[in-house]
């Protein structure tokens, strides 16, 4: 087929007939377009492929993150808008991180405990020691109560709310039960010495962490060494595990004599027993604690006679 010419009516008629047979039966624009005037070999520009929409995770990874200590960069305001009317972008709040006792503080605790030659010096060292976080949330240092010259020393785990308020160990409900347990074997707080592994109350009465326990361990070990009791009673599993290097639970440990060896090499017979707070929750096990305290009474009598 020869190229149609716009000046030849026959060619135009044939072209219109071809359009009609192809289904082109109406104009798309008001003004006619001379397609013959366009170059035959017109080169068309290749459109760029549409960018693939990135996923939220990819967009987040691609965006540069702001440094915690650097404020976000402010963009220039649009023309005609006063920059002073644009509020500052909110800065990310800086969270205060709680200090965690490190090995240097543990070493300092051991040095302070070893340097104390009396209970009063040990109490002063503990009051000035800032290496345990529990000190900053507690109201008072709970050092001890009772007679430091007594033959019997009892050690619990940590103070509770009442103990923290009064600065004395075992003064709440568990303390009143402990007094009854001592009275059952003919003793009271004038014939016993009472302390805790942890001298500061954990927030909310939570369980002390192993790190906190290790920080405070030198103080209670030195306290036992200075008191030098004839018999040691570990009230509860944490006290028994810390001071007797035991791994069993308190129900397995209780009722069996153990030995606590001080830093100076003095061996002290120790009786692990149930904590008074546990007995308040489980009264049926009071009979077990009663047997343990009878063993303590017999041991004190044996050592006194010998």
CATH number at residue 134: 3.40.470.10
Contacts of 22-28 with C-beta under 8 Å, sequence gap 24+, read: none
pLDDT of residue 76: 55
Residue 145's DSSP bridge partners are: 194
pLDDT of residue 39: 57
Tens digit of pLDDT for each residue in 32-54?
677 666 555 554 555 555 555 54
Domain of residue 222 covers 103-305
Residues 6+ away with beta carbon under 8 Å from 285 = 274, 278, 279
What CA–CA distance (Å, rounded) separates 49 from 11? 40
CA angle 130, 136, 138 (to 5 degrees): 120
Residue 156's DSSP bridge partners are: 196
Residue 245 lies in a domain: yes
Residue 167 lies in a domain: yes
- Which band of pLDDT confidence, cut at 50, 70 and 90, is reported for residue 72? very low
Residue 246 lies in a domain: yes
Mean pLDDT of the region 5-30: 70
pLDDT of residue 34: 72
- Which band of pLDDT confidence, cut at 50, 70 and 90, is reported for residue 269? very high
Q: Looking at the predicted structure, is the pLDDT value of residue 129 above 50?
A: yes
Residues 6+ away with beta carbon under 8 Å from 197 = 155, 156, 157, 158, 208, 213, 216, 217, 220, 238, 239, 242, 243
Tokens read off for 113: 């405990």
Tens digit of pLDDT for each residue in 85-112?
545 544 554 444 444 446 888 899 999 9
pLDDT of residue 93: 45
Say how far residue 82 (Cα) sits from the centre of its chain. Answer: 47
Q: Is 231 helix (H, G, I), strand (E, B) or coil?
A: strand
Q: Which segment of 60-64, 172-176, 197-201, 268-272 scores lowest on mean pLDDT?
A: 60-64
- Which band of pLDDT confidence, cut at 50, 70 and 90, is reported for residue 21? confident
Residue 271 lies in a domain: yes
Tens digit of pLDDT for each residue in 201-214?
999 999 999 999 99
- Which band of pLDDT confidence, cut at 50, 70 and 90, is reported for residue 61? very low
- Which band of pLDDT confidence, cut at 50, 70 and 90, is reported for residue 167? very high
Of the two residues 9 and 89, the one the predictor is more confident about is 9
Q: How far is CA 70 from CA 41, 89, 91, 165, in A?
A: 58, 12, 9, 43
Backbone angles phi, psi at 84, to 5 degrees: -70, -20
pLDDT of residue 69: 45
Give the DSSP H or E segment for 233. Answer: strand 231-235
Structural domain count, the chain = 1
Q: Looking at the predicted structure, is the pLDDT value of residue 83 above 80?
A: no
What CA–CA distance (Å, rounded) separates 97 from 216? 22
Mean pLDDT of the region 230-248: 96
Residues 6+ away with beta carbon under 8 Å from 96 = none
pTM for the structure as a whole: 0.67
Percent above pLDDT 70 for the chain:
71
Q: Looking at the predicted structure, is the pLDDT value of residue 177 above 60?
A: yes
Residue 210 lies in a domain: yes
pLDDT of residue 50: 52
Of the candidates 99, 128, 112, the residue with the CA atom closest to the CA atom of residue 212: 99
Mean pLDDT of the region 272-287: 97
What CA–CA distance (Å, rounded) separates 235 from 141? 19
- Helix and strand element counts for the chain (H, E): 11, 6
Residue 90 lies in a domain: no
């Amino acid at each position: 087929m020869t190229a149609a010419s716009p000046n030849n009516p026959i060619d135009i008629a044939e072209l219109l007939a071809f359009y009609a047979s192809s289904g082109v039966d109406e104009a798309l624009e008001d003004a006619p377009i001379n397609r013959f005037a366009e170059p035959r070999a017109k080169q068309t520009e290749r459109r760029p492929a549409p960018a693939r929409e990135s996923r939220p995770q990819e967009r987040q990874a691609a965006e540069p993150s702001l440094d915690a200590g650097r404020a976000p960069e402010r963009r220039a305001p649009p023309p005609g808008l006063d920059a002073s009317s644009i509020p500052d972008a909110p800065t990310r709040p800086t969270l205060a991180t709680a200090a965690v006792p490190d090995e240097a503080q543990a070493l300092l605790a051991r040095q302070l405990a070893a340097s104390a030659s009396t209970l009063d010096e040990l109490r002063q060292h503990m009051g000035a020691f800032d290496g345990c976080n529990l000190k900053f949330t507690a109201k008072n240092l709970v050092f001890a109560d009772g007679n430091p010259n007594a033959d019997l020393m009892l050690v619990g785990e940590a103070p509770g709310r009442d103990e923290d308020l009064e600065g004395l160990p075992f003064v709440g409900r568990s303390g009143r039960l402990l007094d009854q347990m001592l009275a059952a074997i003919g003793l009271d707080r004038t014939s016993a010495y009472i302390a805790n592994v942890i001298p500061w109350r954990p927030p909310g009465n939570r369980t002390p962490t192993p790190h906190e326990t290790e920080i405070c361990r030198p103080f209670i070990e030195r306290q036992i060494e200075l008191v030098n009791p004839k018999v040691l009673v570990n009230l509860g599993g944490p006290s028994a595990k810390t001071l007797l290097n035991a791994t069993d639970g308190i129900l397995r440990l209780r009722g069996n004599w153990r030995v606590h060896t001080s830093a100076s090499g003095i061996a002290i017979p120790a009786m692990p027993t149930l904590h008074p707070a546990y007995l308040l929750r489980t009264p049926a096990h009071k009979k077990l604690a009663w047997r343990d305290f009878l063993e303590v009474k017999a041991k004190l009598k044996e050592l006194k006679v010998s």
